[in-house]
Structure formats: structure tokens, C-alpha cells
């Protein structure tokens, strides 16, 4: 069964080079990197090689500033809870935005139950934050600003450098959830000026269940996982070495292929947006037209439900998502779409189309063909759409 995968954000395939490296690691049967004998030395060397590759991808100056985690979610939990707990004596106030991923939102919800207070800054209709709002939200007891680098539903990229200048001046720790950016667009932690940066391997064709956290040296933070002395004493637990080796190879490839991948993604994005605009009426393309991820298009298809579109596309062997896989089981309308001004109904009619380096224009054309039909079918069944269409026709006749 050949499936057109336009849900790369949830399910990026492993690249052949990554598969090979992981299979080699499985066959090699590495020991525990912390062991004191020869078997351990080989494992420790493999761990180190992977760390260097990942550090290079984000231009981390010292390799020890990158630790491996089990997911972007763990990295975010580590960053936010780790700073909150370590700095509670200084204050319990945190600044964030209205459009963060659930990993940040729900972590903050847990912290609120522990008497932390959160100020959430709004976004404009493109989903962009105004750095001045962040500056205004920072108080004397603010210990952390956590703002995502790019949004996983609409792709909009935030002015992280400008926010970092504010946090530096105000001596507040700054974390950015860059899970959807690292490996997709150039990320340079030194240039960004952040203290903490979360990312995950599966966003750049590495394995699921492996993440990374950049921790600038000197950042006051507790571990999330206490125990052994692994990861420079910052994250206990025997390492998922097979996954980490896969992440290293994926990071290396992402760095080397970055320009090509971005160029290809932009071409796909343009074709997709032009096709959507030309062939389907009553849609919104969400997110910033320029300052956004090249590998994502969010489209709100008015008068119908995204879930219905996904199911019908699935019948035609096209995989696409209404929103992030992490929230697929949740029933609420997307807080991101509501924040940029979509109403509840339009938010429910939204597709997040994500594609990759191997996505072809032919696949996009096939998707557009099927989508056009699916949307027509669903709209014909929609009483709301029939009513709106009738009103439009009457308006045209009257005009």
C-alpha cells in the first residue's frame, strides 16, 4: 500500500542512513556507556560522537551543553520544571505565550497547582508575539520566559533573538521550545541567545523517543530525572544509545542537507498554497506568510470538519492531520487557531499539511485533486454550507 505522507510532523520516516546506523548499533550490541571496562568505553565513544553531531546542528559551543532526553516533551518538561523548582526561592512567576505546545501548556498547568503564576502574552493574527509584550509581562519575581521558536500548527516563527535581548537585560532565564524548528531551519543557540532550547530527533528524520536539551552553562536548573550521574549529572537513566546514535546521524544529515531541504520545501509550499487558493473557495491559509516554517501549511476549510476530511483522505491513502498528533485524542478546538482569530467552526475545519524532502510535486497534485473532491462532497452534505451558498447566490442576484 503506497501512502502519500503529508503528516511528516507526526511521522517523519527514518532516513536510510539513520536506519543503517541504528541497525549497526543493534547488531554491535553496545554496553553501558557508564561502565568502567572496555565494553563501556566503546559505548561512551559512540555517545560522544552523537553528541558532537547534535551540538554542531545547533551550534552549541561546548558539547556538554547538550543533553539527550527521551523526547521534545521531556526536554520541555525538564527546562520549565527544572528552572521553576531551582529558582523558587527567587520567585514563582513565568511568562509564556498563548500558542505554546501542550508540553509547555500542561507543564505550566501543573506548576500553577504548585502556586506558580503564569502570564501569557497574546499573538497577532499571524501568530506572532510582540517582544514588547514579553518585556511588559516580566516582573520582579519572574524566573522564566518560555516562548516557542516555531508553532507546530501554523508554522509561524517568533522573534526569539529580540526576546532574548530582553530576558538578558532583565536577567531572566529564557527557554525556547524549538522542537519544530531544529533540523528544519537553521538554529544557532549562540546567535539566538537563549539559555535553554528543546528539540527532538523525529522532526529531522531521526527516531521517535529521542530528544535533546541545550542548557547554557551556568543556567540554574534542576534535573527532571534524578538518579545516576549520566549526561554530565544533568539527566539520570541509562541512555537509549541506539536512538541517540540515530539522532546523531540524522542531525549530521540535517545540517548538510539543510539548504536543499528548505529550497525543496518552499517549492512544495508554494505549489500547495497556490493550488489550495485556486481550487478551493472559502479557505484561510493560517500563519505568517514569510516568517514561518517551510515544511508546513495550515489551511482552514470553512463549513466542514477537519476530522471528516482526514478520514476521507485516509480512504484514498493520503495521510494528513487536523493538528499535532500529541493532541489527536483531545476534543477541544485548537487554542492556537482561536488565538489568531479563527472562530470555533473554522478551527475545527483545519488541516495541518506537513511534508518532507522526498515529497514530490506529483503527490501534492494528487492530494489537491482528492482534497477538492472530498471538500465538495463534505460541503454538499453540510446544511451550513448550503445555507451560506444560497445566501451568496441571492446576494449576487440582488447585487
Q: Which positions from 346 to 385 touch a copy of itself by CB under 8 A, shown as an x/- string?
A: ----------------------------------------
Residues 201-240 that bind a copy of itself (CB under 8 A): 202, 207-211, 222-230, 236-240
Burial class (CB in 10 A: 0-12, 13-18, 19+), 106: middle
Which range in 128-136, 264-272, 321-329, 351-359 contacts a copy of itself by CB under 8 A?
Answer: 321-329
Q: Are 341 and 350 in contact (CB under 8 A)?
A: no
Q: How far apart are CA 78 and CA 72, in angstroms?
A: 10
The question of whether 326 is a catalytic residue gets the answer yes
Residue 248 binds to a copy of itself (criterion: CB under 8 A)? no
Residues 79-108 that bind a copy of itself (CB under 8 A): 85, 88, 101-104, 106-107
Q: Which positions from 262 to 301 touch a copy of itself by CB under 8 A, shown as an x/- string?
A: ----------------------------------------
Q: Which of 262, 326, 333, 345 is catalytic?
A: 326
CB count in 10 Å sphere of residue 202: 26
Q: How far apart are CA 127 and CA 307, in angstroms?
A: 23
Per CB under 8 A, the list member of 57, 72, 92, 131 interacting with a copy of itself is 72
Q: How far apart are CA 224 and CA 233, in angstroms?
A: 11
Residue 45 binds to a copy of itself (criterion: CB under 8 A)? no
Q: How far apart are CA 297 and CA 367, in angstroms?
A: 13
**Total of chain residues touching a copy of itself, rule CB under 8 A:** 87
> What backbone torsions phi and psi does residue 328 show, to the nearest 5 degrees?
-60, -30
Residues 143-202 that bind a copy of itself (CB under 8 A): 200, 202
- Residue 44 or 135: the one with the smaller Cβ distance to a copy of itself is 44
C-alpha cell at 281: 473557495
The closest alpha carbon to 307, from 349, 344, 278, belongs to 349
Q: How far apart are CA 300 and CA 348, in angstroms?
A: 8
- Minimum CB distance to a copy of itself, residue 4 (Å): 10
Residues 21-40 that bind a copy of itself (CB under 8 A): 22-23, 26-27, 29-32, 34-40
Q: How far apart are CA 305 and CA 70, in angstroms?
A: 34
List residues with catalytic annotation: 326
Amino acid at each position: 500500500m503506497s501512502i502519500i505522507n503529508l503528516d511528516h510532523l507526526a511521522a517523519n520516516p527514518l532516513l536510510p542512513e539513520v536506519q543503517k546506523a541504528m541497525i549497526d548499533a543493534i547488531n554491535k550490541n553496545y554496553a553501558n556507556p557508564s561502565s568502567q571496562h572496555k565494553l563501556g568505553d566503546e559505548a561512551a565513544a559512540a555517545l560522544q560522537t552523537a553528541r558532537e553531531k547534535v551540538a554542531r546542528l545547533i551550534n552549541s559551543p561546548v558539547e556538554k551543553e547538550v543533553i539527550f532526553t527521551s523526547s521534545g516533551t521531556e526536554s520541555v518538561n525538564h527546562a520549565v520544571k527544572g528552572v521553576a523548582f531551582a529558582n523558587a526561592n527567587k520567585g514563582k512567576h513565568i511568562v509564556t505565550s498563548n500558542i505554546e505546545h501542550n508540553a509547555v501548556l500542561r507543564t505550566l498547568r501543573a506548576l500553577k497547582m504548585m502556586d506558580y503564576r503564569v502570564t501569557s502574552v497574546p499573538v497577532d493574527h499571524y501568530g506572532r508575539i510582540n517582544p514588547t509584550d514579553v518585556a511588559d509581562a516580566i516582573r520582579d519575581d519572574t524566573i522564566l520566559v518560555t516562548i516557542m521558536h516555531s508553532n507546530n500548527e501554523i508554522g509561524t516563527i517568533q522573534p526569539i533573538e529580540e526576546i532574548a535581548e530582553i530576558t538578558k537585560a532583565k536577567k531572566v532565564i529564557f527557554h525556547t521550545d524549538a522542537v519544530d524548528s531544529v533540523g528544519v531551519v537553521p538554529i544557532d543557540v549562540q546567535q539566538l541567545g537563549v539559555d535553554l532550547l528543546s528539540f527532538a530527533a523525529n522532526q529531522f528524520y531521526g527516531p521517535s523517543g529521542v530528544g535533546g536539551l541545550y542548557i547554557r552553562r551556568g543556567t540554574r536548573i534542576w534535573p527532571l530525572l534524578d538518579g545516576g550521574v549520566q549526561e554530565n549529572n544533568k539527566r539520570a537513566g541509562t541512555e537509549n544509545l541506539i536512538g541517540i546514535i540515530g539522532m546523531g546521524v540524522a542531525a549530521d544529515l540535517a545540517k548538510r542537507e539543510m539548504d536543499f531541504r528548505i529550497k525543496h520545501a518552499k517549492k512544495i509550499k508554494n505549489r500547495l498554497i497556490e493550488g489550495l487558493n485556486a481550487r478551493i473557495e472559502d479557505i484561510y491559509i493560517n500563519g505568517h506568510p514569510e516568517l514561518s516554517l517551510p515544511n508546513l501549511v495550515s489551511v482552514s476549510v470553512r463549513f466542514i470538519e477537519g476530522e471528516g476530511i482526514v478520514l476521507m483522505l485516509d480512504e484514498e491513502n493520503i495521510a494528513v492531520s487536523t493538528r499535532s498528533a500529541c493532541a489527536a485524542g483531545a476534543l477541544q478546538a485548537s487554542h492556537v487557531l482561536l488565538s489568531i482569530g479563527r472562530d470555533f467552526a473554522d478551527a475545527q475545519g483545519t488541516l495541518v499539511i506537513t511534508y518532507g524532502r522526498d515529497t514530490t510535486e506529483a503527490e501534492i497534485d494528487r492530494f489537491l485533486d482528492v482534497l477538492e473532491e472530498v471538500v465538495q462532497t463534505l460541503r454538499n452534505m453540510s446544511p451550513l454550507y448550503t445555507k451560506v451558498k444560497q445566501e451568496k447566490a441571492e446576494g449576487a442576484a440582488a447585487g
